[in-house]
Structure 1
Amino acid sequence: MENKQQTRKKLRISKNKKKGWKKTDITEVEEFLEDQRLQERTGGLVAEKKDEQLFIVDKAPEEEPQIQNFFTFQREKERRKIQKILKCHSHLQFDPRIKPARIAHNLRKPGIERRHERVVERIKSGKKTKTEIQAEKQRRTDRKLKRETRRKEHRLFKKSYDLWGTENTEEDLPVKKQKFNPPKHHREKPTLVSAVEIPHPGASYNPAFDDYQALIEKAHNVEVKKTKIEKKIYNALDAKFKSLDKAELEKTWLTEMSAGLADDDAVEDNDIGDLDLDKISVNPPVQREKKKTKIQRNKEKKLKQQEKLHHNDKVKKLRANEIFRLKSIKKEVKEKEKKVEQKKEERLKREAKNKTKTRKIGKMKFEEPNLEIKLTDELEGSLRLLKPEGHLFEDRFKSLQKRSIIEPRVQARRTRKYKPKVFDKRSHRPEET
């Protein structure tokens, strides 16, 4: 057993890692350090001392104490006991050989005290440096500017000029211009339609023959369009149901409304077993023989994975080969840029065309106002005898709609929520005879 204890296996630990530091044996190192500390506490290191400090040659013979009697010997023993210091307390006493640890605090750089003295002397003398003089000048100018701005703000504007004169400029007027960054389309008009349109030359009180005929043709075309729309509606509704009376319409209505009711009752009476189950169910019935096995499912999974990998490899190869087709890519990019420019030009052309038209803003569609035209019988030779047509307010209202400033509107109809009560007054009743 002893041999086994002596021949103990050494632990194979890597000391280059922090994990293995805990398992290393450091008892010898700790003992050595503890011994070194004890030596420093009790008179310094023995290795550093000289032989004269460690050893003393005792030349004088030992003198035996002269004991006169037993009582004096006992007193002397007690006195020595009191004077003798315990070993544990002797360690705490000051050792003159060990130098005290001195840590320097509040270290000052050389020349700081002298510099401080110079600053104090300069402050007492009252002299100022160039930087201080410049700072004072800057403060004075800043204060003056602040005072002037305050006076201007609180001062009333007083200037002698003619308010209704034409010679005055904008600088003379007491108006503050508000600065703001408007968007690009701020100055653009929604449409190119003029606010006040010039009327047709045929609408004059004394028009030329050709101009008058052109205006009449224009009015005729408008009326033809209206009649076509009315005829279309008539052909679709009234023309088809001319012969049917009210009684026949009621019969057809009843038959149409009662269609399918008898068939539903017949279906309810029949049993569910008679119906075809394949038609009722969404999915067809599953047979046990057609059910897939686990091996078949695994094969399908593997095939799907292989297809996926094959697809990924194909994509990677295509990306790698794209480096060699840089010329064709550049051509494609140029073609795309050309198409974009063409589309841009077309869009600008479309916008230019649409600026002459009215935009759709609300639900209603804009309708052109009726043409103000005088028939041949109504024409007069002088302007005084001519009767006015149209209304100025309506004309301006339609102009705003045409220029896409406001949405097209229709006059709201006034509807009554209740039926008006009819009764006869006593005064209006006929006298009873």
Structure 2
Amino acid sequence: MKVAKKKKVSKKNKSSWRKHVDITDVDNFLESSRLEERIGTFKDVADSQLFQVDKTPSKKSQKESAKEKRRQNAARPLKCLQALENTSKVGDPLKARTKRKNLKNMVTMKHATRKPKTEEAAQKEKQEIAFDHDLWSSEEPYIGNEKVKDELDTNWLSKKVVDHHLRNTGTANFRVPKTARRITSKLKAFEPPHPGMSYNPKREDHVQLLEGVVSTEEDLLKKEAHLNRVTKEMFSKMSPEERERQLLQEMSAGLGFDVEIKQEDEIKKEFSEDESYATVNPPVERKPKSKKALRKKAEEIEKKNLLRKAKMDKKKNSDIVQIGKLKQSIVKKEMKLANKRNKEDKEEAEKEFKPRRLGPLAFKEVDLDVAYPGELTGSLRTTKSHGNILKDRYVSLEKRNMVAPSKRQGVRKRHKVKSYIKNTHKGVLEKPINAYKPQIEENLVKNNCMKMRESSAPVSLLILNFFLVISATNHWLLTKEGKIQPQVDSPYFLRRPDDLIAFLNQSKHQQQVDTLYAELLHIKTDLRMKINHVDSYTVDFMYQTKCIVQYFLQESDLLNSVTTRSYLSRLYKPDVDSLTFVEGGIPKCRDFLELPFSLMCFEHLDGMYNRKNLSMNVEQTLLLLGLELSNPHLGNMLVTKLRRDPYAWRYHTLASLYWRSKGNALEALECARRGVYLAPRQFKDIALLSLGTILQRSRKHADAVIVLGAAVDHAPTAENHMALANSLVLISEFNRSVVHYEAARSLDASLSDKVTHIRNSMVCFKYIKKRLLKIAAILDEMSEKLKLYDERKKLLEESLEKLLQEQAPLASRGNQQRDEGNDLHQRGQYCSTRYPAGSSEPVLFCDFVSDIQMKLETGDLSVDLIVTYLEHANELIHTHMRTIGVFEQLNVDNIGDDDIESLFNGTELLPPTDSPAAIPSTGGSP
């Protein structure tokens, strides 16, 4: 396939231009120009030199035959030999070479390889064996200058023959490496022992030896004591009783709901009340610099540069003065390096007298064989032998780096081979041959039975099923008099004794009835155990819920405004904001300033996006702060101020307070948005607190947490922390709310009682939620058990009906049972509707009550009391909760399951920080 040529190619260098640009026309033109310069132009040449008149006619071209073409092609040289032809037009400078001379001077490969070998052999000197040794002497024989091995002394062989013989007979003569003879240690092969090790030593030598042994043992004991101190003795031992008591104390910490809940004692570090208020990012005012300030700044920079230059000059002069000191420092360094080098040389020299590490184990000094004073006898005959010469020599080899150190290998443990007898061979080794005769006869009988069974398989299967049914059912009864008679309520008293299928199904129905009856009894027992659990939890719940009455808390308590007089003092200034009357003045912030969409105002929140649908109640607490928000003159003043300066953030924020006192959520949000957008950084928390409070009172608690978190980031004041903590409680973030409550209490001591009350209410509600969840879980299990009970009871009734339909009426056996002393009339009667076989019309059937029916009617399986108890327990819990006012307070469903699982773990309600500045951020300013 032909590849298309690229339309655009690179032409960034000369080689690309030569490669991709066609210049044949330029070359042709230049070539023709050079030709004209050499021979002249066509204009200067005569026509007779350029043209020729053809006077002879051209021969007619004759068509060549195929044979002629083959002959011409055969005369031409082969194409494969065209590469050998000389295409050069330059003649050969040498004379013609004849073929004979070429053959004469040609050297074959055979002669070329043979010649060096013959020359090398001729240059070698012949080695003659000098027989300069007496063969009959008793000295060791030599062949040449080499000694012959002992095992081959009788053979007159050379070394090559001996090596070949040893290598091929299995006893190879290995060459010893040169490193084996190299000495790596300067230790002596034999070191004299310590003088104190003598059998009759001097007193001073023996005491010196004992002191060395004692110091070695003391070092080992000291090392062992150090290891015990840093491992075993670091951990104290504890008795099981003390461990159980400590575990019980730790697990029961914080569970005392029967006493007053005081969480202040659990706080590890209180926030300092005298700590001065300081923002995380202090406000900064940007003022343009004047020309004078810029000029002074330039002068200071120039002065600094001059001082830096003078300092550099001074340093250069000092360096020149310190040349002598530099020389001394150089001499000291050289002396230090020389000392270091001498030390290293000394260490290298000492290494030659120390053992090296040749393997995985390092060399260890062997303990000295010491004879204690009581063992010294002073006589060589009575002294006790110590040590081992072979062991001493082996240790010396290890010490002199001739053998790698190793440890003594004990007896290798091998797994014991467990022998056992196969099942097919057990009898062979245990019993005699005569003992197998009964077994052989039994096998023969079984084989005959199998043959008979194959011939009559259906009949044998039916008989087998019949006997299985009879053997699995309790039909017969042994009386006190010793008589064997059928039971009164036996399922095998059939209406149709000749129906074999019905006879076989009776056992299955009877087994189903017994199984279902046992299962119903088990379910009822389980329900009674569940009732005991519900009783214990209910009693405990009703006793512990008294904390609700003590720490009563409504949702309205958390929705109340946290605006204080100090907050208003930063916002409202009476001397500046004088009240002026304007007819019909209503401060609608939308009429004074159009605010575009801005993330700075948290427009992405759901409450801000759907603010037209919000509603809130009148904020009564604002009317108690001394500012007459309900006064119409305040609205008139705000209208006047906003007309003069629509970008004043204070008046927009005051307008939001005005609408909060009126209960208008939309207008309050619009004014608060503008206050947030226009407020400077140092006052932005005031507008954010107003915006968050509006969202909180409009039931947008999640949005309020984000806005109030931004207010805390800007200024962690007590009002901001308190408002954020209330919002976190409303969304069930109890642990985070505790942190902000503690921060608010540390900043404002007047909030201590309120914070304590809210914290105790939260703990109480969490405990109630935990108990309610446990009771609800048990009730759900009981409900599922009751459903299962109904299903199994229906199955029991169906199986019992099938059993009774095939059973013969008890009335037909009444006379016989009455004679035996069992009157069936004492059982009672029942009636049911049945459909006879082959008929679609129902028939009323009455009979005496059977044993299983009597069990069902005696109340053993009745669960009516259990259902009544569950209804009563549910009503009791609801009544108690209504009495103590649980439903009037916080919504219990808001408490999350994660908080219940982590309840009372010892660290849940403790603030994790020590100062308001270190409290983690809940939200941020966009």
- TM class, shorter-length: 0.3 to 0.5
TM-score, normalization by structure 2: 0.22
TM-score, normalization by structure 1: 0.39
Which structure is richer in relative contact order (CA contacts within 8 A, separation 6 or more)?
Answer: 1
